[in-house]
A and B are shown apart, each in its own frame.
Chain A
Amino acid sequence: MDMIKYTLTRLGYMIVTLWIIVTATFFLMHSLPGTPLQNEEKLPPLIRDQIMETYGLNDPLPVQYMNFLGRLVQGDLGKSLTYDGRSVTEMLLEGFQASSFIGMQALVFGVVVGLFLGVAAALRHGGLLDNIATIVAVAGVSIPSFVMAGLLSYWVGVKWQLLPTALWGTYEHTILPSLSLSFFVIAQMSRYIRTEMVEVLDQDYMKTAKAKGLGRQAIIFRHALRNALIPAVTVLGPLAVNIITGSLVVETIFAIPGIGEFFVQSIQVNDYTLIMGVTIFYAVLILVTIFVVDILYGIIDPRIRLAGARE
């Protein structure tokens, strides 16, 4: 019961936040100096007016805003001002295929590797793996994904000629982008799991488990790991957000036809509808991710499941 109330409250918050973002984006976009057509100064005034008319740019701002909201609810983000007036929603969905594949692959790979590294480091406290994990953790947060992308693409792609460094098509094309994005995830995950594990191993209930005569395996897997993994779910949200952010740039470097590529393009040519569309899309993506992770955390942690809310 409490869980449902908690979920609904969070959902409410999310919708309000989203509305604020949408509204802010809309008005900011329309208060920008210059028009979307400024790059095409040479247009005859007649055609210019016609274009303004078609896009509804001559209506008063509140009317435009209401129209915009109305279309948004139906999933219509308008038409791109460049790209021959294609539907922004369509473009986003198309770009999302590539972006989401790379992102998910990076997240899964990073989480799995980070988990193993973190657990191993905690169990061999002060050992070789622990030192490796420490180095990976510091390096991972210090080397941004775009530098990682550069290094991988130069060494693996150009020097050793092992994998393609650009474009899209086969599975091989996804490896380097995903790897560059996953490095940060590995670092954060292993660091977090290690800290949690070390803390959990020190808890009184570990002693109880040992006093019951359980073997090392049962103690680690049944008691320690479970308790260490539950809070680790909370970092999934920020990690996913980091991947989404990073993908913007990594897609540019590897010339992947994803959303990031569209976004960078749209900023460079002042394609307002596309900028707005991508911004809103990213906001939804990030908010939903964090929301899902929070609810997931509530479901798997019995303490929260029953208390109803965190804090």
Chain B
Amino acid sequence: MSKLLDVRDLHVSFTTYNGEVKAVRGVNFYVNKGETVAIVGESGCGKSVTSQTIMRLIPQPPGIIRHGEIHFADRDLVKVSDKQMEKIRGSELAMIFQDPMTSLNPTMTVGRQITESLIKHQKLGSSKARQKAIELLRMVGIPSPESRAKQYPHQFSGGMRQRAMIAIALSCRPKLLIADEPTTALDVTIQAQIIDLMKRLQEKFGTSIILITHDLGVVADIADRVVVMYAGIVVETGTLHEVFFNPHHPYTWGLMASMPRLDLHHEQELLPISGSPPDLISPPKGCPFAARCRHAMKVCTEYMPEMTDLSSTHQVACWLEHPMAPKANKHTGRNGGEADE
């Protein structure tokens, strides 16, 4: 499989009133053709900043891409000109956002919002574009698309708006779709429908998807590989199976333990991760998770752990993988909880 997107050592900062917030601090990951990669982590871990940097949607200033490369279809998106980027956005790269209520222009018909990118990128005439828009609305499962296309976003329900957003995003058959928390603002039943729709369309078009979320249920449902981010760095990455069934980073253990699971007993407590992420204006020099980690060692606060290969697809950045680390405690994360009872 060839890499469609390859992000290398990406550093992104924001200058604020209080100082420079180092939101993304050396992120590496890749996305293969036709694959779904989920980026998970709690709010403020840099997952949204990473995705918006790929789209070059970070407002500059205050945002700055300090360092790194984003290879996408033979180009480095960090280096291409604004004009070129406009051509890539919406045609090869598309994005859908968290809140479908606010992501659509309230004073423009839904149909028009879809035809806009068709006219821009595929140079369609307006009547052709309108036909295509209706087709797209039908494809994303909006009933009576002819009349719906003439309506305004506020006449759509939340789920339908997100479907319309997907129609806009997929209108030019992008190679990569970035979905930034696409289901967070929706009802649970609608969430499942939207995820199903994304899966169906992915199969149909072979689009790669980057799914940004903190909902591990959604991840389990759709992702091929998982990237776990914490405080602006990638702490663990692997296939869905590797990360869910053989997690190696204590933070990933924590995430797994805080997820409700149907296959466990009712008595199984949900374990929250106590504490809060570090201040990214002056990030700790060692592992950023050390302060909240049950297994923290002296070394953790001193040095940043290096990525360790566990398999060709599974990597983790944790000192517990070091040969000198005490081995016995490796799996006490999830099991530790049980042992306490």
Contact = CB atoms under 8 A, between A and B. Distances in A.
Is there a contact between chains A and B in the complex with CB atoms less than 8 Å apart?
yes
A227 B155 contact: no
Nearest to B94: A211
Contact of B86 (A208, A214, A227): A214
A162 interface: no
A302 interface: yes
A106 B45 CA distance: 54
A48 interface: no
Interface in B149-191: 152, 154-155, 165, 168-169
Contacts of A209: 105, 116
Q: Which of A209, A226, A301 has the most CB atoms of chain B within a 10 A radius of its CB?
A: A209
Nearest to A215: B86
Interface string B93-107: 011010100111111
Given A212-B116, A213-B120, A214-B120, A204 B86 contact: no
Contact of B106 (A205, A213, A222): A205
B105 A208 contact: yes
Contact of B107 (A211, A212, A213, A302): A302
Interface string A280-309: 000000000000000000000111001100
Contacts of A204: 97, 99, 102-103
A210 B99 CA distance: 16
B90 interface: yes
Nearest to B104: A205
A213 B121 contact: yes
Taking chain B's interface residues, is the majority helix, strand, or loop, or is none over half, making it mixed?
Answer: mixed
Interface string A181-222: 000000000000000000000011101111111110010001
B108 A223 contact: yes
Interface residues of A, number: 23
Interface residues of B, number: 31
Contacts, number: 80
Contact of A303 (B113, B154, B165): B154
Interface string A160-188: 00000000000000000000000000000
Contacts of A215: 86
A230 interface: yes
Nearest to B116: A212
B152 A211 contact: no
B88 interface: yes
B209 interface: no
Contacts of A203: 102
A207 B169 CA distance: 12
Contacts of A208: 97, 103-105, 113, 165, 168
B91 interface: yes
B14 to A, nearest CB: 15
Nearest to A224: B105
B59 to A, nearest CB: 9
B117 interface: yes
Given A204-B99, A213-B88, A303 B105 contact: no
Given A208-B104, A208-B165, A214 B90 contact: yes
Closest 7 CB pairs of A and B: A213-B90, A213-B89, A212-B90, A204-B102, A212-B117, A211-B95, A205-B105
